Amino acid sequence: MKSIPAKITEKLEMEMDEIIEEGWYASRSEFIRDAIREMVRKMKIERLETAIEEDIKWGLKK
C-alpha cells in the first residue's frame, strides 16, 4: 500500500474526526480510503453516462 501525504482544512479534519468518533470508521486511513473509493466509483459512473449521452447525440444526428 502507498502513502500519499495530503493537506486538508481544519474544518474537514474536524468533520472527519467526528464521523470516526461516531464509530462509522475505525481510523482516518480507513475513512480516507473509503472516500477515495467512493469518488472513483462516482467518477466512473459520470464518465460512462457522458459517453452514453454522446453516443445517443451522435446516433440521433444520423
Rounded average pLDDT per 10-residue block, the chain, 62 residues: 95 99 98 98 98 94 78
Residue 5 lies in a domain: no
Distance of CA 47 to the CA centre of its chain: 14
As separate numbers, helices (DSSP H) first and strands (DSSP E) second, the chain gives 2, 0
Query: How many structural domains are present in the chain?
Result: 1
Number of Cβ within a 10 Å radius of residue 51: 10
Q: What integer pLDDT is reported at residue 27 of this predicted model?
A: 98
Q: What integer pLDDT is reported at residue 38 of this predicted model?
A: 99
CB of 25 closer than 8 Å to CB of 32 = no
**Domain range holding 33?**
10-61
Residue 3 lies in a domain: no
Residue 1 lies in a domain: no
Residue 40 lies in a domain: yes
Residue 15 lies in a domain: yes
Q: What integer pLDDT is reported at residue 42 of this predicted model?
A: 98
Q: What integer pLDDT is reported at residue 61 of this predicted model?
A: 87
Residue corresponding to grid cell 502507498: 2
